[in-house]
Chains A and B, each alone.
Chain A
Amino acid sequence: MNVLFFEVTLLFYFLGTTLFLVQLAGRWEGIWKLSFVVAGIGFVFHTLALVSRMIEGGHIPLTSMHEALSFFSWALVLFFLVVELRYRVHILGSFILPMAFVSLISAAALPKEIRVLEPIFRNVWMHVTLSLLGTVAFAVAFIAGLMYLIQEHMLKSKHLDGLYRKLPALDFLDELNGKAISFGFPLLTLGIITGALFAEFARGSFLNWNAEQIGALGTWLFYLIVLLGRVTVGWRAKKAAYLTVVGFAGVVFTLVGVILKGQHPFA
């Protein structure tokens, strides 16, 4: 059942992505609503997929890379729907939906079977949820940064058409960027702490200096600097946008590394 729901979700996200990308190109007033509804339906199926997977497996479905990517995509879409209802920044969908779709289709490519959990892994979901929610926040910061850089370029080059009209104001994007990071950073911190505790519990050591642990610590340190820079010396606006775009590239790199090397108990 959960696989069926998953596939329906994939279809709706594909549709939503297409609709949202069409909007980047043209103008058609009615399409915003349609895209929002399609994304919303996709989200409902996605929730059903996650819940039914949880019921079928008997544990929180955050124990494989497939599940993690699916959850990541779910949280992104949830974020978009909430922000869209509250602030009506339609164009956010044109960035978030494609990302959610790519993440979900990567999940589709990975082994989907529900794992039988060894008792030792029972509480790993805490670590995974926190780290993933932190990653979602960084993804949002990345998108806000990307939109900022595009809008910034439009304004500087005085090319005041097309995307310029659709993108929100610079300071809104900068604020979104800042908020996302100050939200994501504590989540990642807690994610790393719970991960370390879990590693201590499962393997007897906090840290064994493998690639993805170094990656995670590097990411943490990077965002710590970005955050401190914003608060103290005014690393905001363009600089913050650049840093978060580059930073998220690092996060994706670490994740791909985890998947490819398969060292993490996860993969």
Chain B
Amino acid sequence: MNIIAVGLNHRTAPVELRERFAVSESRLPEALARLKRWPGIDEGVILSTCNRVELYAVVKETAHGVESPRDYLVTLAADISLEQLEPHLYCLDGAEAIRHLFRVAASLDSMVVGEPQILGQVKEAYDVALIHKATGVVLNKVMKKAISVGKRVRTETGIAEHAVSVSYAAVELAKKIFQNLSEKTVLLVGIGEMGKLAARHLIGAGVRHVMIANRNYERAIDLAKRFDALPVPFNQVHHEMAGADIVLCATASDTYVIGPDDVHRALRSRKNRPMFLIDISDPRNIDPAVGSLDNAYLYNIDDLQSQVVTNLEQRRLEALKAEDIVRGEVPPVVLWLKSLEVVPTIVALRRKADSILREEIDRILAKLGPLSPRQRELVEELATAITNKLLHSPLIALKAEADSSNGALFAETAQRLFDLEKELESIAKAQSSGQERG
């Protein structure tokens, strides 16, 4: 038994290729049903987002396990052969597959590291697979663990903190000047793309009052309708500024539109309530001298850009911490997976029985005092016979199920019933040290 991850993502495949593999929500039940019937696969989860299409599968055979999930994945796109896909595909197994899943859930494998959607998408993919009974003992545990690792990374590191786009950086700044954006008014001067984007982000962050000014008043009226905003004639900008807490300036003018005197007047009539002025135009539209006025906070596109760079750098550092967390979470899962295999369970059960047998024989012989060799033999025979007969049926059942999809379930049940944790651990340790030496 082994766990496999195969797929293609934003790094390995262009979007044209990823698109063709994407499994839409409506197609997912059919795809999962087919997956369940696919030979060699016991369990599976399909994760399909715009940045990746991945299949996590539990396969019977450890050695050649990669092939059947890979063959299945190829069938997700209509007319692509394995040869065409091969260079864009990654196939991971065992600890590597688990680590990959954890990294994905922790948003470490995302295009923008720390982006918040992926964890929800992993959860969704698992939920759908669970509903359609495509998962079993192994993936139920591993997927849940992946989700909890994703959560842990989000709360324990700053990976998802701080804006990494210019317009969101503007929103973050606005929140450090104004506690409650829903009571604040934004004045958008000029209707360039950047300006609109930043305004949209501010509205998303709670701003309710928006004024829009543009040289072409008609267009201001048009846009105002869409934003549910108030259009303002361009020559009124300086006057309306007094009522604006946030001024977003993004005109195509090549001279300053707003100067220190205008802002000074506005501040005076605002009784010095702070103003946040964002100049996202190139060349600049707000005289930099405005920045030296008390209670006026002027940021231009370069300031915001450099903040984004700082934040990205910070995320990169936080990502290192996240990688550590992921690395620490993998080995226990691998150990648990190993314990699910039937063969070690049988060995463990035998070992446990033998050690109990030895202990009890020694105890009783010590109590009985001097015995003849024949008598000793009989005592040992009796104990051995009872142990063997008792173990006979469970061992046969375990062996019979070893290769079926119920193997893991039987192994886990046997471990619980006979309390084999200690024995399994020593077997796993012996195995892994043997592997290292080999």
Residues of A within 8 A of B272 (CB): 234-239
Residues of A within 8 A of B412 (CB): none
Q: Once the chains bind, are B273 and A236 in contact (CB under 8 Å)?
A: yes
Known: A236-B272, A237-B272, A237-B273. A168 touches B158 (CB 8 A): no
Residues of A within 8 A of B177 (CB): 155, 169-171
* Partner pick for B179 among A158, A164, A169, A235, CB 8 A cutoff: A169
Residues of B within 8 A of A253 (CB): none
* Partner pick for B297 among A156, A167, A236, CB 8 A cutoff: A156
Q: Once the chains bind, are B271 and A236 in contact (CB under 8 Å)?
A: yes
Nearest-neighbour CB distance to chain B for A172, whole angstroms, equals: 4
In the assembled complex, A29 has its CB within 8 A of some CB on chain B: yes
| Docked CA distance A160–B305 (Å) | 12
Nearest-neighbour CB distance to chain B for A113, whole angstroms, equals: 47
Nearest-neighbour CB distance to chain B for A179, whole angstroms, equals: 13
* Partner pick for B176 among A27, A170, A238, CB 8 A cutoff: A170
B293-328 vs A, Cβ < 8 Å mask (1 yes, 0 no): 011010100010001001000100000000000000
Interface residues of B in 143-158 (CB under 8 A from A): 155-156, 158
In the assembled complex, A161 has its CB within 8 A of some CB on chain B: yes
In the assembled complex, A151 has its CB within 8 A of some CB on chain B: yes
* Partner pick for A151 among B176, B178, B303, CB 8 A cutoff: B176
* Partner pick for B294 among A27, A174, A238, CB 8 A cutoff: A238
Nearest-neighbour CB distance to chain B for A235, whole angstroms, equals: 8
Q: Which residue, of B268, B274, B294, B307, has the highest number of chain A Cβ atoms within 10 A?
A: B274
Q: Once the chains bind, are B176 and A164 in contact (CB under 8 Å)?
A: yes
A172 nearest CB neighbor, chain B only? B179
Residues of A within 8 A of B156 (CB): 29
B169 nearest CB neighbor, chain A only? A160
B189-205 vs A, Cβ < 8 Å mask (1 yes, 0 no): 00000000000000000
In the assembled complex, B132 has its CB within 8 A of some CB on chain A: no
Q: Once the chains bind, are A27 and B271 in contact (CB under 8 Å)?
A: no
In the assembled complex, B173 has its CB within 8 A of some CB on chain A: yes
Known: A158-B303, A161-B310, A171-B274. A237 touches B294 (CB 8 A): yes
Residues of A within 8 A of B175 (CB): 169
Q: Once the chains bind, are B310 and A29 in contact (CB under 8 Å)?
A: no
| Docked CA distance A169–B303 (Å) | 19
Q: Once the chains bind, are B173 and A160 in contact (CB under 8 Å)?
A: yes
| Docked CA distance A168–B178 (Å) | 9
Nearest-neighbour CB distance to chain A for B386, whole angstroms, equals: 53
Nearest-neighbour CB distance to chain B for A23, whole angstroms, equals: 14
Known: A158-B303, A169-B178, A172-B179. A238 touches B295 (CB 8 A): yes
* Partner pick for B271 among A29, A170, A234, CB 8 A cutoff: A234
Residues of B within 8 A of A239 (CB): 272, 294
A148-159 vs B, Cβ < 8 Å mask (1 yes, 0 no): 000100011010
B46-84 vs A, Cβ < 8 Å mask (1 yes, 0 no): 000000000000000000000000000000000000000
B269 nearest CB neighbor, chain A only? A234
A219-245 vs B, Cβ < 8 Å mask (1 yes, 0 no): 000000000000001111111000000
Q: Once the chains bind, are B176 and A155 in contact (CB under 8 Å)?
A: yes
Nearest-neighbour CB distance to chain B for A144, whole angstroms, equals: 13
Nearest-neighbour CB distance to chain B for A22, whole angstroms, equals: 17
A52-93 vs B, Cβ < 8 Å mask (1 yes, 0 no): 000000000000000000000000000000000000000000
Interface size range on A against B: 20 to 34
Residues of B within 8 A of A167 (CB): 176
Known: A160-B307, A160-B310. A155 touches B271 (CB 8 A): no
Residues of A within 8 A of B158 (CB): 27
Known: A234-B272, A237-B294. A168 touches B179 (CB 8 A): yes
Residues of A within 8 A of B297 (CB): 155-156
| Docked CA distance A66–B175 (Å) | 42
A234 nearest CB neighbor, chain B only? B271
Q: Once the chains bind, are A233 and B176 in contact (CB under 8 Å)?
A: no
| Docked CA distance A22–B216 (Å) | 55
Q: Once the chains bind, are A237 and B274 in contact (CB under 8 Å)?
A: yes
B306 nearest CB neighbor, chain A only? A158
Q: Once the chains bind, are B271 and A233 in contact (CB under 8 Å)?
A: yes
Nearest-neighbour CB distance to chain B for A142, whole angstroms, equals: 20
| Docked CA distance A165–B307 (Å) | 12
Q: Which residue, of B177, B178, B314, has the highest number of chain A Cβ atoms within 10 A?
A: B177
| Docked CA distance A237–B273 (Å) | 7
Residues of B within 8 A of A165 (CB): 162
Residues of B within 8 A of A29 (CB): 155-156
* Partner pick for A171 among B179, B294, B310, CB 8 A cutoff: B179
| Docked CA distance A233–B268 (Å) | 9
Interface residues of B in 200-253 (CB under 8 A from A): none
Top 5 A-B pairs, shortest CB-CB distance? A234-B271, A172-B179, A169-B179, A234-B272, A237-B295
Known: A174-B274, A236-B271, A239-B272. 14 other contacts (CB 8 A): A156-B297, A158-B307, A160-B307, A161-B314, A165-B162, A169-B176, A169-B177, A170-B274, A171-B179, A171-B274, A172-B179, A234-B268, A234-B270, A238-B295
Sample 30 A-B pairs with CB under 8 A, ordered by A number.
A27-B158, A151-B176, A155-B173, A155-B176, A155-B177, A155-B297, A156-B291, A156-B297, A158-B307, A160-B173, A161-B310, A165-B162, A167-B176, A169-B178, A169-B179, A171-B178, A171-B273, A171-B274, A174-B274, A175-B179, A234-B268, A234-B270, A234-B271, A235-B272, A236-B271, A236-B272, A237-B272, A237-B294, A238-B294, A238-B295
